[in-house]
Structure 1
Amino acid sequence: MSTKLIVICGPTATGKSRLALKLAQELNTVILSADSRQVYRDFNIGTAKPTPEEQALISHYLIDICDPRHSLTVAEYQDKANHLITSLPYSPLLLVGGTGLYIKAITKGLKIPRVPAHPELRSRLKSLGQSQLYAFLQQVDPKAATKIHPNDQVRTLRALEVFYVTGKPISEQQGENPPSYPIQQIGLDCSPEELTKRIQTRTQKMLDLGLITEVKGLIEKYGWSLPLLDTLGYQEIKDYLAGETDLETAEELIVLHTRQFAKRQRTWFTSQAEITWFNSQQPDLYDAVRHYISE
């Protein structure tokens, strides 16, 4: 069976999952998640993971595939997703989510150095200070240095890590190898005012579903210092449970931080020329998307 991939992407809370469920039912296909937190087990409510009922309705892949104590790399995600795309007996397949780098890794066929994180090496390098690290990078990989901001410690450390582990500059190991199968990319967005309303509603729903209880359970199971507990929606509730803020403030902060996150997502996705955009507020959204797919 020849594969076709339909991508549904865009900022958080724009209705991607709802549209994907309806499309998957009509197209008799499955959904591959492109969400960098839904890959982790036990993180359910705060990541807006598909409910058991939704998963019973349509098969979802690439969720609950990783222990929260392990950090899944983009390369690992790419390998798992590509394996599913080439092996699942469905066409089209739906790739759905808001993690732009995950989606780009698939649609562009990003070449990613298969170098796992080396905490000890990173710790030694980090102790030298960012200015010294960037100076090292300019010496060993000047091409990469031109693409990395001097204050971007995360990317600087990664570039040096790859160089010291492999002996080759990261710039020589990167690039693109786009897949040969056809891809349609659909972006959903709405007005800032509407998005704020949706984020407020979703935040309240998460709290009603038991987000506080979920965070308590995660702390009991994994401890206060688990890095995933410092991410959107979890950090704010963790601070509330630690007595550092009240619940009303925690909820307000989740809404604020989610709005800021959505803005960053919009900036990323609008820079991708291959995406065809739809207003998630339009009453004929599903028909318009379905017509676009058919064409």
Structure 2
Amino acid sequence: MSSENETRPPAPALPPLIAVVGPTAVGKTALAIRLALALDGEIVSADSRQVYQGMDIGTAKSTAAERALVPHHLLDIAPPEQALTLAEFRDLAYQAIDDILRRGRLPFLVGGSGQYVRAVLEGWTLTAIAPDPDLRLRLEADAIRHGAAALHERLAVLDPVAAAAIDGRNVRRVIRALEVCLTSTQPISQLQTRQPPPYRVWQVGLQRPVADLYARLDARVDAMLAQGLVAEVQQVRQRVLGLGLQATQPALTGLGYREIGQYLVGDLTLDAAVVEIKRNTRRFVRQQRNWFRATNPAIHWYEAEPDPTARILAGIHGWLTASALRADEC
């Protein structure tokens, strides 16, 4: 007589998702394109600023030639005056990933925005509390009047868990957390839960020696300026501020856009703005490196030089094979 396990059909394997992560300027895009070309894949961008239209130079967005090689998703999906939320990004990412899988191709989630990556991979259930524009304006005014640190201290009183997880210099995130605390009965830290999405995930992390990475960062900033970063920032600012919005909009607070904005209003010289961009980018890269290593032990790390593509492909093929075998044994 057959047992229940013998008559039960094998459980289907969850569809695969490859994540390519690492700090800014480490070479994620070039690596992801090589992997996608080899594995019939498509790229889903996980960058908090590349979602915005008209912000190509300062975000190091994939070029038209790169997009012609491999389809890219979630680039240029929102105007710069729109504050695309993390919850909205997560939902759009799931839609893109599912569409890629339905067409029989392999999705690659690629980016250095740690929260955007984790929101997708860990299935963050994010608060659906609607923004309160009037409250936001008051909180933004408080930040200008009393400083970002005072706003963060207020959050620490209302929601110490959220305050510990949010960099006090990230005024937009502090304001959003305060907004939730002040307009709901629960702090934002209690409203955010996790439900892993229906994918099996293999994560690739790319790294370089610090000195090499810093040199690449500096060279990239110089190249952005030569390509027209100042004009790009000016156009984005004119569009956003022309609609009566504040300079705290996400499109204007990203690296490069904030510092060049300070130059455009006369708060910094151009040389000083460039120094600030490079300094702040290095600080951000240190945060990225620490974030990925501290929060995600599942990442398989590779040095960017010499080219690790062949070794990574071998690892992905082995993982795909092993995952299929485990599913057959169920």
1:253 paired to 2:276? yes
* Distance (whole Å) between structure 2 residues aligned to residue 169 and residue 229 of structure 1: 27
> Which position in structure 1 is the counterpart of 2:45?
33
1:215 paired to 2:233? yes
Relative distance call for 1:258 and 1:160 in structure 2 (3 A) is closer
> Which position in structure 2 is the counterpart of 1:193?
211
Which of the numbers 224, 238, 242 marks the counterpart of 1:206? 224
1:173 paired to 2:191? yes
Secondary structure at 2:302 match in 1 = strand
* Distance (whole Å) between structure 2 residues aligned to residue 17 and residue 58 of structure 1: 11
Asked whether the 8 Å contact 1:112–1:174 carries over to 2, the reply is yes
* Distance (whole Å) between structure 1 residues aligned to residue 167 and residue 299 of structure 2: 30
In structure 2, list runs of 5 or more residues that go unmatched: 1-12, 319-330
* TM-score, L = length of structure 2: 0.78
Relative distance call for 1:110 and 1:42 in structure 2 (3 A) is same
Larger Rg: 2
> Which position in structure 2 is the counterpart of 1:140?
none
Secondary structure at 1:32 match in 2 = strand
Deviation string, structure 1 residues 131-156 (Cα, Å, up to 9, x no partner): 66654x3xxxxxx5345349958666
* 1:291 Cα offset (Å): 1.5
Relative distance call for 1:279 and 1:247 in structure 2 (3 A) is same
Deviation string, structure 1 residues 174-227 (Cα, Å, up to 9, x no partner): 221112321011111111100111011111211221112212322333338543
Deviation string, structure 1 residues 58-87 (Cα, Å, up to 9, x no partner): 111111111111111100001111112222
Paired residue total: 287
Q: Which is worse superposed, 30-39 or 206-215?
A: 206-215
* Distance (whole Å) between structure 1 residues aligned to residue 263 and residue 134 of structure 2: 33
* 1:264 Cα offset (Å): 0.8
* TM-score, L = length of structure 1: 0.86
In the TM superposition, 1:1-295 aligns within 5 A as 3-88=15-100, 89-123=103-137, 130=151, 134-135=156-157, 137=158, 144-146=159-161, 148-149=163-164, 158-159=176-177, 161-163=179-181, 165-223=183-241, 225-226=246-247, 227=249, 228-271=251-294, 272-281=296-305, 283-295=306-318
In structure 1, list runs of 5 or more residues that go unmatched: 138-143
Secondary structure at 1:30 match in 2 = strand
User: Match of 1:37, as an amino acid?
Assistant: R
Relative distance call for 1:115 and 1:53 in structure 2 (3 A) is same
Taking every aligned residue pair, what percent have the same amino acid on both sides? Answer: 37
* Distance (whole Å) between structure 1 residues aligned to residue 196 and residue 203 of structure 2: 14
* 1:13 Cα offset (Å): 0.5
Secondary structure at 1:78 match in 2 = helix
* 1:165 Cα offset (Å): 4.2
Asked whether the 8 Å contact 1:2–1:91 carries over to 2, the reply is no
* 1:159 Cα offset (Å): 4.5
Relative distance call for 1:59 and 1:189 in structure 2 (3 A) is same
